[in-house]
Structure 1
């Protein structure tokens, strides 16, 4: 089956991004001819949900509980077979959505936008170094070279989203890549540009970075144990 933008939902967690979200939604509408569905899980105290609705997005309101809680709700909400995640701060190139969809149609289960290989010069240097370290650590733990484990722009076949239990909050972006990679799904990274964000970030780089690092180690360990358990069960003639 060949998917079109009629089969795509673009989802995001939103929190006080009224300054940026209009640009993101306008870009999505222009690139997809208004055919992609948009879902925003929102905990804002500003006009972000109003702006989203004005641009045709479905808004699911929830109390602020962190990045991962919002994004997990967002990726599970659509009923379309292809789900694309992005951030609402206008840093990701929505004009690349056709490339992500093409890769899904080539047979990939997850298509991940790699910001770091092209330099990500608009990203604060401390954040860039941290993200490079996360990618290196995740690569070692997963046994596969990964260029950017914390990117917010990815495309997924919906069945991958539905088949995996997602557990992380601040580190969900890394988990959304690591679990599919370590479970043998077909995963492709494509290089993308990364723009300067509109508005101010709410993530503290030190505490947030520590949580992401912990998530990477925890998820990789869980997946290794799952692999070992699966191997033992197959050897003894049981299924898991």
Structure 2
């Protein structure tokens, strides 16, 4: 099996790599063995909280939570910040998730609240629309155990054919713009599936707008944390999207510009 066929292999066309593993390291540095040095006991799924913002996803939330339970053998905790008017919260509770209900205030508010509610040392973000492969959770945890601070799913590596064409084009443009502004190559700035050491989440002041998805990659990378982009599959979503592509795209573009400038000024 080649590295491009292997779902556990990382990006191979970044500015910084780690030997022959073919992965992209966006920030920080790596050891010759393929990851930042670490001498602590490895994390297990008992150390993981999976978090998500949910809004009217009753068609998909049960499947997503069942997949998390199956893949982690029921060991990972799940936190949903929910503003739904349908049965999403009810289904999530039935599946054992902690549900924090709030008035609908948008993606950024919900995801930020979910991130800050996590109380285990590893925090995984995902969306609740069944587009992300929960089967990759062991791979993400493995990379955290190798010493990475952030593992960011790269949907575009395999083409993301299930993604609407306009969204796919926009995501390539976001990545190109972020790469120029950051001064280092990134491939997917708006993915919803990432893993973090909780210390990273706690060390950074996050905003609450739609552009949070890009900020969650840009700020750690520009602050020197060890960030790895991990190729993942991307599936057709269940149910209808809640995000207006033009309005959401404008918010993400503005966030990329604002956040990169803030981080550059911070480093002066």
Displacement of 1:143 after TM fit? 1.1
Structure 2: which 5+ runs fail to align?
A: 1-40
State the match for 1:161 in structure 2.
201
Deviation digits for residues 104-150 of structure 1, max 9, x if unmatched?
00000000000001100000000000000000000111111101000
User: How many residues get paired?
Assistant: 228
State the match for 2:151 in structure 1.
111
Map 1:88-167 → 2, pairs under 5 A: 88-167=128-207
Displacement of 1:168 after TM fit? 4.0
Which region of structure 1 is more displaced relative to structure 2, 36-45 or 166-175?
A: 166-175
In 2, Cα distance between equivalents of 1:177 and 1:83: 14
Checking the alignment, whether the CA contact within 8 Å between 1:168 and 1:215 is kept in structure 2 is: no
Answer yes or no: is 1:185 the counterpart of 2:225. yes
Deviation digits for residues 138-190 of structure 1, max 9, x if unmatched?
01111111010000000000000000000141000100000000000000001
Answer yes or no: is 1:7 the counterpart of 2:7. no
Q: Give the number of the structure whose residues are more often helix, by fraction.
A: 1
State the match for 1:38 in structure 2.
78
State the match for 2:106 in structure 1.
66
Checking the alignment, whether the CA contact within 8 Å between 1:14 and 1:40 is kept in structure 2 is: yes
Answer yes or no: is 1:174 the counterpart of 2:208. no
Answer yes or no: is 1:222 the counterpart of 2:262. yes
Query: Secondary structure at the residue paired with 1:27?
Result: helix
State the match for 1:232 in structure 2.
none
Query: Secondary structure at the residue paired with 1:13?
Result: strand
In 1, Cα distance between equivalents of 2:251 and 2:208: 9
Deviation digits for residues 8-59 of structure 1, max 9, x if unmatched?
0000000000000000000000000000000000000000000000000000
Checking the alignment, whether the CA contact within 8 Å between 1:168 and 1:175 is kept in structure 2 is: no
TM-score when normalising by structure 2? 0.85
State the match for 1:236 in structure 2.
none
Answer yes or no: is 1:213 the counterpart of 2:253. yes
Choose which of 113, 122, 137 in structure 2 pairs with 1:82: 122
TM-score when normalising by structure 1? 0.94
Q: Please, what is the CA RMSD of the aligned residues?
A: 0.5
State the match for 1:233 in structure 2.
none
Query: Secondary structure at the residue paired with 2:129?
Result: coil
Deviation digits for residues 48-98 of structure 1, max 9, x if unmatched?
000000000000001111101000000110110000000000000000000
Segments ≥4 residues shifted beyond 3 Å: none
Choose which of 198, 213, 224 in structure 1 pairs with 2:238: 198
